[in-house]
Amino acid sequence: MKKETLNNQETKAMTYDSVLAHVFERGQKVYVKAEKRPYKVRACDGRFAICTKPFNPQKTELYFIIDKERNVRGTENLIFGMGFEADEECNEALDRLKKGESEVSYRNVVELDIVRVVNGC
């Protein structure tokens, strides 16, 4: 039976405790279970981490927000999102989350499925 690998390392989902204990930092690369390419942490604090990656066909960014308190990742709950293409937009979203003006969606959300986190350059 062939093992699934990422950069010659066996992929194992981070445990619930290791995700909650992990301190996310800007520039880190976050790998999730169902996707090959990583997301990059663009803004973070103790509870939230906003992660994005380029989506070239539409010249935009795919994103998710990690909520360590709820142990989920998902999109922001605003109907018309403010955008996550620039660091400034990600920081504004983080401010909205911290102030309680928005939150991680309850409809468009999945349980945390982080495989690994790699320090960026």
pLDDT tens for 66-105 read 999 999 999 999 877 678 989 999 999 999 999 999 999 9
Spatial strand order in the sheet of 48-55: 104-111, 72-76, 60-67, 48-55, 39-44, 29-32, 114-118
What global pTM score does this model have?
0.81
pLDDT digits (tens, 9 = 90+) for 17-50: 666 667 899 999 999 998 999 999 999 998 999 9
